[in-house]
Amino acid sequence: MRSCTAVAIIIFLFLFLPPAQILNAQSNLDSTTFQNYEKISKQIVTSALKERKGYDILKNLCRIGPRLSGSRNSLIAINWAKFKMKELGFDSVWLQSVMVPHWERGEVEEVVILDVKTKAEKKLNVLSLGGSIGTPVEGITANVLEVKSFEELKNRKDEAIGKIIFFSRPIDQSMKNTFSAYGEAADQRVYGAIEAAKVGAIGVIVRSLTTKFDNIPHTGMMKYEEKVKQIPAVAIGYLDADYLSQILEDDPELKVRMKLDCKTLPDEQSFNVIGEIRGIKFPDEIIVVGGHFDSWDVGDGAHDDGVGCIQAIEVLDLFKRLSIKPKRTIRAVLFINEENGSKGGLEYGKFADISKQIHYAAIESDRGAFTPIGFYLDTDSTELIDRVRSWLPFLNYSRINWIKKGGSGVDVSKIKNVKLKIGYYPDDQRYFDFHHSPADVFEAVHPREFELGSAAMAILTFLLSEEGL
């Protein structure tokens, strides 16, 4: 009986009320507010897509080149970003100083297959891994042992002594979520040199973590462990990894020579770049929008993560362009050093801990600029998730179609003192084609996908600021 009544009410609602009012019931907003939020959400999307202002700013950032922590380029970019935020008229702009690691790739970087009989050399496409030590000037020359996992390496440890270990397990292409697939294969890159050194190997070659079948090598962070010998490590292009694997089958005795002159220098002074628009009603309640400003030292650091930083800047600029006066303070934070230390995120987290201001919410964009699909909320509160989910009618205008429990981002996760941490999630199918590689350039970013991302973050920021949690 009860369910019959419920069905009758639902039929009545659909037949006799306009769609806006039905959704009102779902989001607990009166119809005037609902219509106002609809209007503003549409304006945000239209302005982002039509004016492409963030995309234009991204082009200028990418012209500076890559922004590895501690590099001269990173400091040029930091000053550029500070100036840009001032030019856009944010209420306050400042730099937050922090010490960061400083690693340099150097000039020489080669891995060649040696044909002992003919003396011919075949050069492979490689990039040193971030943090790797170099080799002696003459390089290291050794036989190669190919393995697919640390377990296989342990089982074959007697064969590993004095060799270069080739970790060749690719990203599992059958997985739908590319971040999970990347995460499953990344142990080889991050810990490969430690595991190889433990069994007496002298160098490491890792198949690039990519979703594309090309020959562009993808770098990234690797680690050493105290008391374990440090050995040099490179990433190799996917096609060259296939090639090396194939010729090793024909000739397990072949030798390669690895020559690298990368090195770690003393830590350098660097900065997070911060700009904000003050809230008119609750100025001490802060909503952070951010990305990481450092990148690897190849390509332009466009998708990773120039786009996240410029989307954060564009969120504030969209408020200004549309004359939206936020109730709460909206703060763009460009975190330095996410790639190889997270010192910027840690420093901001420390500041948030002691600040008298209330960190209300923090949104991070660090999954590239592709078509928006969702937001992950880092919380156990189903109430909070339901609340943000009730805003989907507005977020839909930017193509956001889900809100789920999940991880936020490396940098905002360092802020302990915040009510809700949020991760922006665009379509992830092509991100790892570009990630940490020379292919991550401005031209790889599509303006519509990028701008819809800015709009998605701006709509969510607007609702957080207006409605609270």
Query: Does residue 366 touch Zn ion according to CB under 5 A?
Result: yes
Interface of this chain with Zn ion, residues 31 to 70, rule: CB under 5 A: none
Stretch that binds Zn ion, among 67-75, 242-250, 362-370, 392-400 (CB under 5 A): 362-370
CA distance 468 to 462: 10
Nearer to Zn ion, 150 or 182 (CB): 182
Stretch that binds Zn ion, among 305-313, 329-337, 448-456, 457-465 (CB under 5 A): 305-313
Stretch that binds Zn ion, among 194-202, 265-273, 296-304, 378-386 (CB under 5 A): 296-304
Nearer to Zn ion, 34 or 442 (CB): 442
Nearer to Zn ion, 102 or 292 (CB): 292
Least distance from C-beta 366 to Zn ion, angstroms? 4
According to the 3-state scheme, what is the secondary structure of 187-217? HHHHHHHHHHHHCCCCEEEEECCCCCCCCCC
Stretch that binds Zn ion, among 133-141, 303-311, 383-391, 412-420 (CB under 5 A): 303-311
H-only helix segments in 224-342? 238-250, 307-321
Nearer to Zn ion, 37 or 335 (CB): 335
Least distance from C-beta 74 to Zn ion, angstroms? 14
Query: 447-462: string of b/e by CB count within 10 Å (b at 16+)?
Result: bebbbbbbbbbbbbbb
Least distance from C-beta 306 to Zn ion, angstroms? 10
Nearer to Zn ion, 166 or 293 (CB): 293
Nearer to Zn ion, 208 or 329 (CB): 208
CA distance 442 to 435: 13
Dihedral sign for Cα atoms in the order 223, 166, 129, 229: positive
Is the CB of residue 375 less than 8 Å from the CB of residue 423?
yes
Query: Does residue 304 touch Zn ion according to CB under 5 A?
Result: yes
Report how many residues bind Zn ion under the rule CB under 5 A.
Answer: 3
Sequence-ordered list of residues with C-beta below 8 angstroms from that of 378, at least 6 positions apart, any chain: 405, 406, 407, 408, 413, 420, 421, 422, 423
Least distance from C-beta 39 to Zn ion, angstroms? 34
Nearer to Zn ion, 349 or 423 (CB): 423
Least distance from C-beta 181 to Zn ion, angstroms? 16
Nearer to Zn ion, 304 or 451 (CB): 304
Q: How far is CA 368 from CA 4, 48, 71, 292, 468, in A?
A: 47, 17, 23, 11, 27
Nearest CA among 296, 297, 424, 423 for reference residue 369: 424
Query: Does residue 411 touch Zn ion according to CB under 5 A?
Result: no
Least distance from C-beta 263 to Zn ion, angstroms? 24
Of 305, 364, 428, 449, the residue at the interface with Zn ion (CB under 5 A) is: 305
Q: Which amino acid is at 8?
A: A
Query: Does residue 297 touch Zn ion according to CB under 5 A?
Result: no
Task: Give 3-state DSSP helix, strand, coil % of the chain, rounded to 5.
Answer: 40, 25, 35
Nearest CA among 89, 56, 93, 42 for reference residue 462: 42
Stretch that binds Zn ion, among 31-39, 132-140, 363-371, 424-432 (CB under 5 A): 363-371
Chain centre to alpha carbon of residue 102 = 20
Is the CB of residue 231 less than 8 Å from the CB of residue 202?
yes
H-only helix segments in 285-413? 307-321, 343-354, 382-389, 392-395
Least distance from C-beta 240 to Zn ion, angstroms? 25
Least distance from C-beta 143 to Zn ion, angstroms? 36
Q: What are 437's two structure tokens?
A: 């590689």
Q: How far is CA 254 from CA 119, 120, 121, 141, in A?
A: 12, 12, 11, 10
Stretch that binds Zn ion, among 12-20, 251-259, 304-312, 341-349 (CB under 5 A): 304-312
CA distance 379 to 364: 15
Least distance from C-beta 192 to Zn ion, angstroms? 20
Instruction: Catalogue the active-site residues.
Output: 338
Residue 129: DSSP 8-state? P
Is the CB of residue 71 less than 8 Å from the CB of residue 298?
no
Nearer to Zn ion, 327 or 367 (CB): 367
Query: Does residue 240 touch Zn ion according to CB under 5 A?
Result: no
Q: Which residues bind Zn ion (CB under 5 A)?
A: 304-305, 366
